[in-house]
Chains A and B, each alone.
Chain A
Amino acid sequence: MIAVMERAAANLRSLRRAAVALLAAAAVYEAVARSGLFPAALFPAIPAILTSLKDTLADGTMLMHAAATLFRVLVGFAAAIAVGLPLGVLMARYQPVERFFMPLVTALMPIPSFSLVPLFMLWFGIGDVTTILIVFYASAFPMVINTWTGVRSVNPLWLRAASAMGADEKALFRKVIVPGAFPFIITGIRQAFLRAWIAVVGAEMIAASDWGLGWVIFDAKEFLNTDVMMASLVVIGFLGFVFERLVFGTLERATVLRWGMMRLARG
């Protein structure tokens, strides 16, 4: 009981300190912004950023940019899962497949996705196709590697037990291999999304026109709209956070945590 109360007090203190830290950082920023040391165009005060966030949200432009970015990231990411997941499973289950694709994956993985942006721009022009392909390229590899690792790590005893009880290849796959590899697959999906999110912002800066959060930031630079830039940064951070915590966190809780295959890292 006392231990619980002590922990609660410590948590409260952590929370208070977190608030103090964030407020202090905001205050320092605000003080610098208002001191006139830097031009206001380069260093907008927080109210200006909030106003610009509110305005762009209200007139719908920010939502359109966010929608364009989300569309690109989700299509590329879905394609990466659609290709990466089966490929990872096949590589782990059939040796010839592994022998053919593993060297390719190993060689292509270290190429940063951005270095392909100029090439893809030449091939596919500026716009959705290029950005989606870059997202796909960035997120397919974590998907393949994690699925491959996950399927290989499925306990062989489970496979033999299921076969002995008469499971055919299809049932084996659906009831044993996929659930068994799921913690790794989820990790793969998470890493893939993280990569996809980074890739889409970068690709949009270089290879998008008119719409997209990455494009807004880069475009705002030309007109010294630093407040718009900061507002987009907030939106990008917020969306990334929502996906990471809410979407994938929920997915994890609904599957592997409920099946008892993984425990929450922090109690």
Chain B
Amino acid sequence: MAYAAQIALTAPASAQSAAGGWLRTVAWNAFPFVVVGAIWEVVAHAGVFPPLLFPPLERVVVTFINLTVSGILPLHALETLLRLLSGFALAAFFGVLLGLAMGRSRRAEDYLLPLVSTLAPIPGLAYTPLFLLWFGPGDLTSVLLVGFVSSFAVIYNTWTGVKAVKEIWLRAAQSMGADDRRLFRKVILPGALPYIFSGLRLGLAQAWRVLVAVEMLAAVHWGLGWLIFGSRRFLNTDAMLAGIVVIAVIGLALERLVFKRLEDYTVVRWGMMGSGT
């Protein structure tokens, strides 16, 4: 998934070298949006649908600016990001820990894998009502649920990564006198890191998806999911669309900026992975 997304994101770059000149690239990339935007405008102004339900783009832009200037939108976004980070931190910590244990010890693998693979195939959101009953509506539920749901991708990938460390590296390091701790820090962890990163990446993407939905269900008072869901009640379709735009931008930024950077600094620099571009 992350791989596919990466391909998708690098496509414009290859079009660029073919067309020559970034201006043409920008034009090529902007063109489809202009077409879709124009169709939207025509439909919105044609009066086929009530403007409350299908606002023209200029209304959405004005609402977006108003909400941003008044600080409402940034506050919602901040709240959502805080929840995302706390939930994801839980998943990253416990996920990597469990994954490492399962990769290193046959015993841990035998005991933990059945539990993980029993719980993993149930879509994360399906646990929402259960968590709501157990932990009550609010922040605790959303953070715990996000952590719980996104930890599976981290566990699986870390586990695979540790198992993918070549036996010969381990033996070479051992014969050169590496003790267990050094073996772990200098061989296993770097060797498994590309997998761990892709697990974290997948986990973060899942966390993001789930969080938006959980915010709608968990009756929190701030957050982008709540903003969208709450706007429905007052038919604020423009605010809803503005919220969706922010969600898309944050999702893209998380994927592109955070993880790309992290990978460039570590596994790409060590020559374990191509930079993807």
Task: Point out residues on A near B: beta carbons under 8 Å.
Answer: 10, 13-14, 17-22, 25, 42-43, 98-119, 121-123, 142, 145-146, 149, 191, 197-198, 201-202, 205-206, 213-214, 217-218, 220-221, 224, 226, 229-230, 232-233, 236-237, 240-241, 244
Contacts and interface: CB of A to CB of B under 8 A. Distances in A.
Tell me what chain A mostly uses at the interface: helix, strand, loop, or mixed: helix
Contacts of A221: 129, 132-133
A111 B123 contact: no
A226 B7 CA distance: 43
B87 interface: no
Contact of A22 (B115, B217, B225, B255): B115
Contacts of A114: 125, 209, 212-213, 216, 225
Nearest to B9: A106
Contact of A220 (B30, B32, B129, B231): B129
Contacts of B132: 221
A145 B244 contact: no
B133 A42 contact: yes
8 contacts: A14-B109, A43-B134, A102-B12, A104-B33, A116-B244, A214-B125, A220-B129, A237-B118
A201 B125 CA distance: 7
A241 B121 contact: yes
B4 A105 contact: no
A125 B81 CA distance: 30
A191 B202 CA distance: 13
A102 B8 contact: yes
A112 B5 contact: no
B124 A13 contact: no
A226 to B, nearest CB: 6
B125 A205 contact: yes
A209 to B, nearest CB: 16
A230 B112 CA distance: 21
B243 A201 contact: no
B110 A217 contact: no
Contacts of B1: 142, 191
Contacts of A197: 123
B122 A233 contact: yes
Contact of B12 (A103, A191, A244): A103
B11 A98 contact: yes
Contact of B216 (A104, A146, A206, A236): A206
B276 interface: no
Nearest to A18: B114
Contacts of A21: 110-112, 114-115
B31 interface: yes
Given A17-B107, A103-B32, A240-B122, A218 B247 contact: no
Given A22-B118, A110-B255, A206-B217, A229 B130 contact: yes
A240 B121 contact: yes
B15 interface: yes
A174 to B, nearest CB: 25
Nearest to B244: A115
Contacts of A142: 1, 4
B232 A121 contact: yes
A145 B123 contact: no
B6 to A, nearest CB: 10
Nearest to A221: B129
